[in-house]
Structure 1
Amino acid sequence: MSGDILQIFSEFLGTLILVLLGDGVVAAVCLKKSKAEASGWIVIALGWGAAVTIAVYIAGFMGPAHINPAVTLAMAISGNISWGLVIPFILAQVAGGIVGAVLVWLTYIDHFAATEDKGAILGTFATGPAIKNHPANVITEVIGTIVLVLGLLSFSQYTFADGMTPVVVGLLIVSIGLSLGGATGYAINPARDLGPRIAHQFLPIKNKGNSDWGYSWVPIVGPMIGAVIGALLFLVMT
């Protein structure tokens, strides 16, 4: 497998694992009759941090393991990857998000059938705000993604013990989730939201409602703006 194709595949696989484990913990907490039902936000935030860590370990030996279009954009702006890889990476990431979400549905298929709360069902796929206010929600996603990008780019200035970088990245995600995630569910990743939202649209889930496409642009636009700002801030800092 050629270098570019391997890297593109790694973005697909990494995002698939990210969504499988990340949306998986949300399903475990939110769906009826799950053994982890109602275990709370801390479990979700820790689960997403672990999901990022494991996804980066699985994909990272094949490519940069961005698993996030916002990160890919930031890395292109900062000169860490070729601009020619941006669109292929993003397409692979969204596709991975779709497949990962389908696997979550298959894992919890009986629990989806037992759940009547349409919001809880959608929440296992895509993010949504605690208070719907699109301008404020965009700002939240921008701020969270700036922290993400500054963290990732700043980590490159340090030397970690061999194999420890994914753990540090996972800790960054946990921190963002616990501190900034309460307002919008901290997408900070367009593929993590768009891919599963597409899956929610076409999967035959008994009690699902609509996929809330009216909100779907927020977790796309906010993180991409945050990526640009974060990358430019890092370039100024260095």
Structure 2
Amino acid sequence: MGFWHIVVWELLGTAALILLGAGVVANTVLRGSLGHQGGWLLVTIGWGFAVFVGASIAAPSQAHLNPAVTIGLFTAGDLPPAQVPAYLIGQFVGAFLGAVLCWLTYKLQFDAHDEPENTLGVFATGPVHRNLPWNLVTEVIGTFVLVFWILTSPGAKVDTGGLPQFGNAALGYAAVAFVVISIGASLGGPTGYAINPARDLAPRIAYAVLPIRGKGDPDWGYAWVPVAGPLLGAVLAGLLARVLPT
């Protein structure tokens, strides 16, 4: 599979993922939106279906959509090193684009929101109790669950090009969406379950540069946690998958 083929499809899929994922948060957080105060369950379901839509769009590149998935596959020995940069470029650029599209969609709600300094959560995650080492542990565990499931779920395999063919074939990408919903509902409370470095860092950058009225600080002091935690969880999942008997 060509380098730019991977970049383009990962970009499109990840843009859709972030547009819909950040969009469901905006819908529940921003006053003046019909989904205002829709609650955590709406957010988790919305993110799960965002994964399904993004993955379906990015099917030609086998839809990693997440640097943690890419690094997990690489660590497990199931992805050629030369393809890793293409996935990462598409994911980070797509995540930035999706965040911008979310802002454009909800521009009037952002302008009217009475607590504009508290809108970072539409784009990026943050902990309920700020303790960076424990916040890191939470992100490691959540991402480990996701990546380990992808690497080991029944029927999962990797083709000769190093691309994942997800298990539970009857459900297809919906199976991954259910895993994401489960992680959000069960493990997402402490930190907002980034479980995806591109999903958090690129929209955080978008928040920093977009002309959002009265916006708050991007919280760069926390920004490394939802990057390092998912990558560490992915490496651990890949290493374990590599040594398990087949």
TM-score by length of 1: 0.95
> Residues of 1 paired with 2:237 and 2:209: CA distance?
34
* Residue aligned with 2:221, SS: coil
8 Å Cα contact 1:31-1:111 kept in structure 2: yes
> Residues of 2 paired with 1:86 and 1:166: CA distance?
21
Specify the alignment match of 1:13 in structure 2.
12
Specify the alignment match of 1:74 in structure 2.
72
8 Å Cα contact 1:188-1:223 kept in structure 2: yes
8 Å Cα contact 2:135-2:190 kept in structure 1: yes
Q: Which of the residues 90, 94, 97 maps onto 1:96?
A: 94
Letter in 2 for 1:57: S
> Residues of 1 paired with 2:14 and 2:169: CA distance?
25
CA RMSD of aligned residues (A): 1.4
Residue 3 of structure 1, CA deviation: 2.7
Residue 157 of structure 1, CA deviation: 3.1
Residues 56 and 156 of structure 1, relative CA distance in 2, 3 Å threshold: farther
8 Å Cα contact 1:31-1:120 kept in structure 2: no
* Residue aligned with 1:188, SS: coil
- Counting matched residue pairs gives 235
8 Å Cα contact 1:30-1:120 kept in structure 2: no
Q: Which of the residues 227, 230, 234 maps onto 1:227?
A: 234
> Residues of 2 paired with 1:27 and 1:146: CA distance?
27
Specify the alignment match of 2:38 in structure 1.
39
Residue 156 of structure 1, CA deviation: 5.8
* Residue aligned with 1:39, SS: coil
Specify the alignment match of 1:117 in structure 2.
115
* Residue aligned with 2:222, SS: coil
Q: Deviations over 1:7-60 (max 9, x none)?
A: 121111111010000000000000011000001000000000000011111111
Letter in 2 for 1:88: A
> Residues of 2 paired with 1:127 and 1:201: CA distance?
14
8 Å Cα contact 2:15-2:98 kept in structure 1: yes
Gaps of 5+ in 2: 157-166
> Residues of 1 paired with 2:200 and 2:175: CA distance?
23
Residues 48 and 36 of structure 1, relative CA distance in 2, 3 Å threshold: same
Percent identical? 46
Residue 165 of structure 1, CA deviation: 1.7
Residue 224 of structure 1, CA deviation: 0.4
Residue 145 of structure 1, CA deviation: 0.6
8 Å Cα contact 1:115-1:207 kept in structure 2: no
Specify the alignment match of 2:139 in structure 1.
141
